[in-house]
Amino acid sequence: MLRKLLVTAALVLSSLIATGAALADLTILVPSGSEGDGLRAAAADYGKMKGNKIEIVQAPYANVFEQGANAGATKSGVFDIILMDDPWIPFFAENGHLENLTSYFNALGTSGPDNDFLSKSLAVCRNPYNTGPFVCLPYVGNAQMFFYDPAKFAEQGITGAPKSWDDVLKVASAITKAGGGRYYGYVFRGGQGNPVVADFMPIFWSYGANLFNADRSKVTIDTPEGAAAMKMFMAL
């Protein structure tokens, strides 16, 4: 069956809050684009509500990581909050750049975030993973979806959504052949790094494959299930 991949971007409190006087009450580093724009608007509303001055520093995606890592390594305290992509969390957490949020929850009289967050989103926000204290909070959840063109499917005599990756390959091959180089039956993001990984993982999981064994002590990519997933991915 087709599966969805949930990727959680996290709103992260830095442990390196500046101790000196600052022009802003909170300085927030966010990536350029829609997610950063959304946080900018939310921060403006929060500032008006609380009477605080919020400074938003917006930078390209890769530069956000670089600036955050530099701030953590130098303990500059230049940022209070960073909007991070979830693959960055282990780097920042394991290098001690993120603050243990337990005291904040205690001050609110609670043991952790609200229970309406998805469990997987909360697990990645703890260090160690899913067992340690919270070092960040979920902010944006991305659900990967499969889009198809019913009209193109109908031209190949197929109605309804595909129910397996074999179905996808069959109809995609037919559409590509009919397209004659003008259009193609399947398209994915093949860029190095996060794009290609994000597109491959739903197929990988759909075949019952896992990156690690149950206690995360061994890599389990090289399995019959993993090989079947890679074969399908390459065929697509």
Spell out the domain ranges in the chain: 6-143, 150-235
- What is the pLDDT at residue 192? 85
**CA–CA distances in Å: residue 108 to residues 64, 103, 182, 208, 224:** 30, 9, 59, 41, 49
**CA–CA distances in Å: residue 212 to residues 46, 85, 132, 218, 222:** 41, 21, 19, 6, 10
Please identify, in words, the CATH class of the domain defined by 6-143. alpha beta
Top-confidence range, 25-39, 180-194, 197-211 = 197-211
* Token code pair at residue 178: 């009919």
- What is the pLDDT at residue 5? 28
Protein fold of 150-235: D-Maltodextrin-Binding Protein; domain 2 (3.40.190)
Can you tell me which residue has the tokens 């069956």? 1
Helices (H) and strands (E) counted in the chain, each on its own, are 9, 5
Instruction: Please tell me the number of Cα atoms within 13 Å of 115 on its side-chain side.
Output: 2
Give φ, ψ of 54 to 5 degrees: -110, 125
Please, which residues bridge with residue 81 across strands? Answer: 13, 28
| Ordered strands of the 26-31 beta sheet | 54-59, 26-31, 81-85, 6-13, 136-143
Sign of CA dihedral 32, 36, 37, 40: negative
- Residue 69 pLDDT greater than 90, yes or no: yes
CA 207 – CA 215 distance, rounded (Å): 20
Indicate if 150-235 has the same CATH topology as 6-143.
yes
- Residue 102 pLDDT greater than 70, yes or no: yes
Q: CB–CB of 156/174 below 8 Å?
A: yes
Select the more confidently predicted residue: 33 or 164: 164
Sign of CA dihedral 10, 13, 18, 21: positive
Q: CB–CB of 206/165 below 8 Å?
A: yes
Confirm whether pTM is higher than 0.85: no
Least confident of 63-67, 131-135, 144-148: 144-148
